[in-house]
Amino acid sequence: MVDCIIIGSGVAGISAALTLKANGKTALIFGSKALSEKIEKAELIQNYPGLSNVTGKGFVAALKEQLKDAKIEIIEEKVSGVYAMKEKFAVATQQGGMYESKSVILACGVESVKQIEGEDAYLGRGVSACATCDGFLYKGKTIAVFCTSKRLEHEIGYLADIAKKVYLIPMYKGVEIVRDNVEIIRKMPTKIDGAKRVERVCFGQDAVEIDGMFVLRECTSPAILVGGLDMQDGHVKVNRDMSTNLKGCYAAGDCTGRPYQYAKAVGEGNVAAHSVSEFLK
Amino acid sequence: MVDCIIIGSGVAGISAALTLKANGKTALIFGSKALSEKIEKAELIQNYPGLSNVTGKGFVAALKEQLKDAKIEIIEEKVSGVYAMKEKFAVATQQGGMYESKSVILACGVESVKQIEGEDAYLGRGVSACATCDGFLYKGKTIAVFCTSKRLEHEIGYLADIAKKVYLIPMYKGVEIVRDNVEIIRKMPTKIDGAKRVERVCFGQDAVEIDGMFVLRECTSPAILVGGLDMQDGHVKVNRDMSTNLKGCYAAGDCTGRPYQYAKAVGEGNVAAHSVSEFLK
């Protein structure tokens, strides 16, 4: 069992990982080896102390180099659930992994594409955030897939192999997937609707009938990942030491609220790591 | 009148200055063109995201370059008082300057040399934190000067020109000042004592009789700088948005508490600057 599991490979997660390492703690960090799509897309960062007028690409390159120097490896699995148990946490991934730690730092960012009406209400009743977890339920059925990032396109392929028909609602540019059973809808859904279970996704006056819907987001809401986590205005509610309402569970970066800034995320990752070190005593 | 006055040129102050600049706000930053003695002395920084295994000197050089790029100049005056007035702040410096701003960010760091017993109690009753402000009061008299940084040695020279006798209690290495009327005491004072006013400084069982005492610290306590500021365990009490109990007055960096880390200071400076931008609306 490691000291800490860090969820997210943006600057908050990296900052936490570097500090835990410096403090001699063991940690696993889940995310993408490409680190963060959001940082990479930044044209020019003007206010990050120490790196003058750096591009997002330049920042990512510097961070990758630093992780290599510090011998920190990112595990490329997507966390599907965090379970607070007595004296430890169990962390499950969409890839079927199960990991244990003494503490958790949520650094999973914030999703820029807003929630769809009904998304939360129908979660677990026909709405799923995880293709590999729930895809098998829709063999030979009709589903909609709302996807916010090109990086998740392989999950659409996975679902298209299972379902009879897929309505793909992409929120990203450069859709590459081409399948006979995939129909692309280029509209923003206004509502997920049904009775006991999901029955349709609406686009204003229009709607398509479905058996289920996958909402694939780069950043799954921490409230969905961690049961019982206190939220405030859509963000994780934290104290000055980055602790949450759950003992041993900390949060850092965009998921704790505005300003969505690298410097702020880096600072909070650092503080969360120090708080974890204190907690482990 | 500028939008904001930033007190301190460590990483918290620099982070705030860069962000205010990026937000199109006007600001003055008070500190040292050498930035921060504390950073410069750092041997190796292992956990600041973006700069892999950088030395303190390297970090300072990068920050100086960045300030130059951003056309931010540091005013080399030492702030002696911050006065919250109706809808604005007046900031006085030891050099006799008086500046006005709509908001203030305290980023004045934390003094590593602990308080002397009686220091607070006798402040204004024979104890002073400012040589140029109060030196003239001790013409031809006997004073003690407690000094925590070589950078402040010129103030000792200033006092030695005025006083008849100076007991210098240096807390730094490499004392250079040589004057007939300066006697060096290489002991840690245990107590500042007297009746209505200061009469002596004690070193355990020993003591020297004095008319006044100067306590020259690199970082003056924010509680001394700003009247009415709420403190907690020796640090400025702040909320998550870095606001203090005084409207328009924010704080960032080591002065708000542990961990004393660059990443934390950078993050808080950023958040304070964003909060100032919100406040100015």
- The single-letter code of the amino acid at A254 is D
* Average of per-residue pLDDT across A215-241: 91
Report pTM. Answer: 0.87
Helix, strand and coil percent figures for chain B, each rounded to 5: 30, 30, 45
Helical spans, DSSP H, in chain B: 11-22, 37-40, 56-69, 131-134, 153-162, 222-225, 262-280
B9 CB within 8 Å of a chain A CB: no
B46 CB within 8 Å of a chain A CB: yes
**Nearest-neighbour CA in chain B from A238: distance (Å):** 9
Q: B176 in helix, strand or coil? A: coil
A9 CB within 8 Å of a chain B CB: no
Q: Return the percentage of chain A with pLDDT > 90, whole number.
A: 82
Q: Quick one: which of A202, A183, A206, A210 has its CA closest to A116?
A: A202
Write down the pLDDT at residue A167: 97
Write down the pLDDT at residue B279: 97
The Cα B104–Cα B120 span in angstroms is 24
* Average of per-residue pLDDT across A205-224: 91
A255, B22, B257 from B39: Cα distances, Å: 30, 24, 17
Could A54 and B50 be called an inter-chain contact, meaning their C-beta atoms sit closer than 8 Å? yes
Check if the beta carbon of residue B109 is closer than 8 Å to that of residue B36. yes
* Average of per-residue pLDDT across A152-167: 95
Check if the beta carbon of residue A165 is closer than 8 Å to that of residue A183. yes
Check if the beta carbon of residue A72 is closer than 8 Å to that of residue A22. no
Check if the beta carbon of residue B253 is closer than 8 Å to that of residue B269. yes
Q: A69 in helix, strand or coil? A: helix
Parallel, antiparallel, or unpaired for β B127-128 and B98-106?
A: unpaired
Name residues whose C-beta falls within 8 Å of residue B274's C-beta, 6 or more positions apart in sequence. Answer: A258, A259, A261, A264, B19, B23
Q: Quick one: which of B132, B119, B116 has its CA closest to B188?
A: B116
Between chain A and chain B, how many beta carbons pairs sit less than 8 Å apart? 126
Could A271 and B265 be called an inter-chain contact, meaning their C-beta atoms sit closer than 8 Å? no
A25 CB within 8 Å of a chain B CB: no
Name residues whose C-beta falls within 8 Å of residue B67's C-beta, 6 or more positions apart in sequence. Answer: B14, B17, B18, B73, B74
**Nearest-neighbour CA in chain A from B27: distance (Å):** 15
Q: ipTM of the assembly?
A: 0.84
Q: B26 in helix, strand or coil? A: coil
Q: Which two tokens stand for residue B195?
A: 């009746």
Q: A79 in helix, strand or coil? A: strand
The Cα B15–Cα B268 span in angstroms is 8
Which among B62, B238, B261 has CB closest to A50?
Answer: B62
pLDDT of A246 > 90? The answer is: yes
Taking contacts as CB-CB distances below 8 angstroms, the residues of chain A near B54 are: 50
Write down the pLDDT at residue A55: 95
User: How distant is the alpha carbon of residue A212 from its chain centre?
Assistant: 21
Q: Encode burial over B81-104: b for 16+ CB neighbours within 10 A, e otherwise.
A: bbbbeeeebebbbbeeeebebbbb
**Nearest-neighbour CA in chain B from A48: distance (Å):** 7
pLDDT-based confidence at A149, cuts 50/70/90? confident
pLDDT of A192 > 90? The answer is: yes
- The single-letter code of the amino acid at B137 is L
Write down the pLDDT at residue A223: 86
Write down the pLDDT at residue A8: 96
Taking contacts as CB-CB distances below 8 angstroms, the residues of chain A near B18 are: 46-49
Q: Quick one: which of B23, B10, B32, B28 has its CA closest to B72?
A: B28
Interface test with A, best of B60, B232, B266 (most A CBs within 10 A): B266
pLDDT in tens, B132-176: 889 999 999 999 999 998 888 999 999 999 999 999 999 998 999
* Average of per-residue pLDDT across A118-131: 90
| Beta-bridge partner residues of B105 | B6, B250
Q: Which helix (H) or strand (E) holds A16?
A: helix A11-22
Taking contacts as CB-CB distances below 8 angstroms, the residues of chain A near B21 are: 46-47
Helical spans, DSSP H, in A42-149: 56-69, 131-134
pLDDT in tens, B58-76: 999 999 999 999 999 999 9
Write down the pLDDT at residue A234: 86
B261 CB within 8 Å of a chain A CB: yes
Which among A14, A19, A49 has CB closest to B66?
Answer: A49
pLDDT of A98 > 90? The answer is: yes
Q: Quick one: which of A103, A35, A72 has its CA closest to A277?
A: A103
The Cα B11–Cα A109 span in angstroms is 24
Could A50 and B69 be called an inter-chain contact, meaning their C-beta atoms sit closer than 8 Å? no
The Cα A25–Cα B64 span in angstroms is 33
Taking contacts as CB-CB distances below 8 angstroms, the residues of chain B near A48 are: 18, 50, 266
- Provide block-wise average pLDDT over 10 residues at a time, chain B (281 residues): 97 98 97 88 92 94 96 94 94 94 96 86 91 92 94 92 97 92 96 96 96 91 90 94 98 96 98 98 92
The DSSP code sequence of B42-62 is -S-B---TTSTTB-HHHHHHH
The Cα A140–Cα A119 span in angstroms is 23
Q: Which two tokens stand for residue A214?
A: 């996958």
Say how many residues make up chain A. 281
The Cα B278–Cα B195 span in angstroms is 48
pLDDT-based confidence at A113, cuts 50/70/90? confident
**Nearest-neighbour CA in chain A from B203: distance (Å):** 36
The Cα B46–Cα B88 span in angstroms is 40
Which among A22, A49, A265 has CB closest to B46?
Answer: A22
Q: Which two tokens stand for residue A84?
A: 């607070």
**Nearest-neighbour CA in chain A from B220: distance (Å):** 24
Q: B155 in helix, strand or coil? A: helix
CB atoms inside a 10 Å sphere around CB A76: 13
Write down the pLDDT at residue A28: 97
Could B66 and A52 be called an inter-chain contact, meaning their C-beta atoms sit closer than 8 Å? yes
* Average of per-residue pLDDT across A181-185: 96
Taking contacts as CB-CB distances below 8 angstroms, the residues of chain A near B268 are: 267
Which among A238, A261, A266 has CB closest to B263?
Answer: A266
Taking contacts as CB-CB distances below 8 angstroms, the residues of chain A near B49 are: 11, 14-15, 18, 63, 66, 266, 269
